[in-house]
Structures are given as structure tokens and as C-alpha cells.
Structure 1
């Protein structure tokens, strides 16, 4: 079954990995145990660049990508995020919901936003299911058109859904999820996974293969 949220995430990852960050490089500014300061950027520009700082029990990201998110879970937060770091261009296996639970208290709830597209997608799903099971003569397209006039915000969408309870059940009104992960949160998660992938690549490089700085 088509999943609007997953489809959107895959599109965002393609742009992130194949366009926005394709020339990025990792710079280790500081590393002292779990105290780290890393920067990922295309040399000579701050566009789509970010920095990650870790200290005991915390990881924070700032910059042009993911600015302002702080996660807290393990003493070394790289241990928390490392299993999800991709080793190639495929989208990392991020559990966005679980990661959001590790955000600072004041940031929880900011990771998702109401999506008119997701709302209309859920309405169509519910209407088609009702038509298949109860009334094949229901005009699904007309219902979806009506729904499209009530997408200004989540409150408006849910109030409309409540009034359409012949087709849309009370469970739909109370429990249906009309949200998607916010772009800024998604790219922050991508950036963290990408940073750790780059960090792992540096750490597994034999010391003798690291090019020494040029002397003058």
C-alpha cells in the first residue's frame, strides 16, 4: 500500500544525499572521549552545513541544517545513533518516532506538523474502505472534494471529519494521524546519521593511509 509519509521521506533523502550534501566533507574540530565537535560542509561554503557537538549524555546539532535539536539518551550518544548510520547512499534506518522521544522536553512535539496532503490521503482511504464494505454507491470523489475545503489547520480538518461520521467513524476523528514529520526534524536526523557514517569511515581508515598536511 502506498504510504505518503514514507514516500515523502524517501524523496527528502534523495535530495539530501544526492544533491545537497554530495560535496560535503567531515572536519573533526575536537575529540576528547565523548566530548566531540564535528563539522560537515562543502569546503568554502556554509550552505547546508551543520555542526554536531556531543558531551556526556547529549548530542546537539546546529547550523544550516537541523539547527537547535538536542537529543539525550546514552552516555555516549554516538552509541545510540551509530546502529542507524548508513554505509552507502541508501536511506538510513531511522526510527523517527523513537528518536523524537529523546529530544529535550521543550522540543518534544515539534518534530511533526499537520499535513493537508496526509489528511486528504486518510480521508480517501477511509471513504474507499467504507464504500467497499458498506455502500458501493458512496461518492468518494465528492467527499474528498469537500474535505479539500477544510485543510487550513488540524482543528478545522478534525471538526469537518466529526460532522462526516456516517462515512468517517469516530475513531477516525479521534485517532487518525494527519501529520508528517517536519522537514527540519527529518533533515536533522539525516544529518546526524550522515555525520556518524562519515566519522566511522574516518576512524576505520588505517593511520598510514591518512595524507599528511602539505609542508611549505
Structure 2
């Protein structure tokens, strides 16, 4: 499972030397590239047209649709780099062919196993044996994807006859690092674009802070 804080820190490290290049800026029709000069590593491009926004580049491609001007949809509130993966994923029209927005999560798998086994009626002695059996056959096994995890759950049968039911009701995935990275890139990129439009560079920001004006800190 990708942790949002870790992904944000990773994104900020990956883009610390990025510069913005506005290739097209005509109303809702935009093409804006972000990247380190002379390098394509971690570069990305924000492209908008009526009702759509696409992010493409080194970390994959995703397309979203919702508002006429999609910058208003993703624009950070008070400049904060905050994302809403669940809601924004609902507005995604196309995803990256190199990686899904969601990926198998070992934590979600273990949580599902715990939730289902907590419903079983067992004696104290049976519970200890059952926990060991589950650990040996499920939790300590080699499970690397969602398909394998569901198969393990469906095939499991304990020595005393306990089985998992309704395993399809459980989502064993969580947001991928690449998808979260792309969402942070969108919000960050729009923030940089807005700062340029407002005549606010990082140097301007630093001068305001030193002067005691923290309105846009």
C-alpha cells in the first residue's frame, strides 16, 4: 500500500529541480511541461481541453473529465498539496497501461483475513491452532497479486472445517504509488501555474515571509 505522506515526500524529492515550460495557454486549452532541464527523469506534462485533463510523462498517463476547466476541479485549496484519490478516480476516463491506479495490498489482504476469521465461533484452544494454521497457509505465504490472494482464500479449509465465504466482497487493493504521485503532480503543477499567473515566484514568496506577510505561506 502506498502511503500518501511517503508518496508526497517522494514526489517533492523527485521534482525538486523541475522547471515549468508553458507550451500552450489558450483558455482551457493548455500544454504545460514540468521537468529538470536536460533530463526526462520524472518529467510530466499537464494537457487540458474542454472538460478534460491529462497527465502524461515518466510516471504514466491518466485522463480525467468533470468540469469545463479541469484546473478548477483539481486546483489546490489555499495552496495546500492535498489529494482526493477516491473521488478523483471516479472521474478518471483512462488509466496508465504500465500500471493500475490500484494495486494489491498485503495490508488489505491481512485485514480481510482478520475480519472474516473474527466472525468464526471457536473455543480458546481451537482459536490458537486456527491462527497458526492461517499464518502458515495464508499470511506467511508467497502472495503477490489480487488473483492469487482470492484463490488462497477460496481454497482454504482448516482442519476443523472453517472456510472463507463471500471473499469477493473484500477489496484487496489500495492506491498505487504511481497514481498518488500523478495526483500530487497535478495539484503541484496547477499551483505553480497559478503562481506564475499571479506573478508569485518562490522568490516573491520568500520575500513576503521575511517581511512578515504569511498570507500565501
TM-score (norm 1): 0.74
**Preserved CA contact (<8 Å) 2:95 2:101:** no
Matched, 1:15 2:10: yes
The aligned runs of 1:131-142 (5 Å cut-off) are 135-137=123-125, 138-139=127-128, 140-142=131-133
SS of match in other structure, 2:31:
strand
In the other structure, the counterpart of 1:123 is 113
Unaligned stretches of 5+ residues in structure 1: 211-216
Q: Does 1:111 align with 2:66?
A: no
1:57 to 51, 59, 67: 51
Match of 1:45, SS? coil
SS at 1:170 equivalent = coil
Mapped partners of 2:94, 2:185: distance in 1: 21
The residue number in structure 2 matching 1:79 is 72
Match of 1:214 in 2: none
**Does the aligned pair in 2 maintain the 1:27–1:39 contact within 8 Å?**
yes
Q: Does 1:146 align with 2:137?
A: yes
> In the alignment, which residue of structure 2 is the partner of 1:213?
none
Cα drift, residue 31 of structure 1: 0.8
Aligned length: 195
Q: Does 1:160 align with 2:152?
A: yes
Separation in 1, partners of 2:95, 2:174: 19
For 2:92, what is the secondary structure of its paired residue?
coil
**1:19-98 correspondence to structure 2 within 5 Å:** 19-65=13-59, 67-82=60-75, 84=76, 87=79, 91-92=81-82, 94-98=83-87
Residues in 1 aligned to 2:179 and 2:154: alpha-carbon distance in whole angstroms: 30
Q: What CA RMSD, in Å, does the superposition of the two structures yield over aligned residues?
A: 3.2
Whether the 8 Å contact between 1:150 and 1:157 is mirrored in structure 2 is no
Q: Give the 3 Å change call, closer, same or farther, for CA 150–160 of structure 1 in structure 2.
A: farther
Max Rg structure: 2
Tell me what 1:184 maps to: 178
Q: Is the 8 A contact 1:150 1:160 kept in 2?
A: no
The normalised TM-score by structure 2 is 0.74
Question: What's the secondary structure of 2:30's corresponding residue?
Answer: strand
For residues 86 and 130 of structure 1, do their structure 2 counterparts lie closer, same or farther at Cα, with a shift above 3 Å needed? farther
Kindly indicate whether the alpha-carbon contact (under 8 Å) linking 1:60 and 1:70 is maintained by their aligned counterparts in 2.
yes
